[in-house]
Amino acid sequence: MNTAIVMLGSNFQKEQNLERAKEMLSEFFEIVDQSKILLTKPIGNKYKNDFLNQALKLYSADIATETQKHFKHIEDLLGRSPLTSMMGDVPIDIDLIFWNGQKKRGDYDNYDFVKECVDEILLRRNKFEN
């Protein structure tokens, strides 16, 4: 079983899309932990609304590339497209941050809100392992 830590983000129908994404993810993966939900300001001028962000820890029987295909499929089903991005709306964004303990994206180092959410999960794990 593989372990993934992912970040969810939404700035369009935020609460609904975050919950729906978690429901859809649970159809493919076992969600074993969740961080708190943070309200964050958009970065740059492209996005017009504040975001809700949350980290999840998942178990996946698939390899990383197949797992990410599920993420993309869920993003598509919830209405993410190049057009919505151009309009500044992100119904849902699902990014793989860690895969089996290996960092997969620089977001963890580049964005405080990602680090805060992911660290909440990582610190909880370390408490139980000590």
Q: Tens digit of pLDDT for each residue in 86-125?
A: 899 999 999 999 999 999 999 999 999 999 999 999 998 6
Given phi > 0 = left and psi -120 to 50 = alpha, else beta, which region is 16?
A: alpha
Residue with the two structure tokens 């429901």: 23
Query: What is the reported pLDDT for 86?
Result: 85
Average pLDDT, the chain: 94
Grade residue 48 by pLDDT with cuts at 50, 70 and 90.
confident
CB 105 within 8 A of CB 95: yes
Q: Examine the pLDDT at 34 and tell me if it is beyond 50.
A: yes
Taking the CA of residue 44 as centre, how many other CA atoms within 13 Å lie in the half-sphere pointing to its CB? 5
Ordered by where they begin, the domains of the chain are 2-129 (3.30.70.560)
Query: What is the reported pLDDT for 128?
Result: 45
Q: Examine the pLDDT at 126 and tell me if it is beyond 90.
A: no
Closest by CA to 9, choosing from 42, 33, 32, is 42
Query: What is the reported pLDDT for 25?
Result: 98
pTM (2 d.p.): 0.93
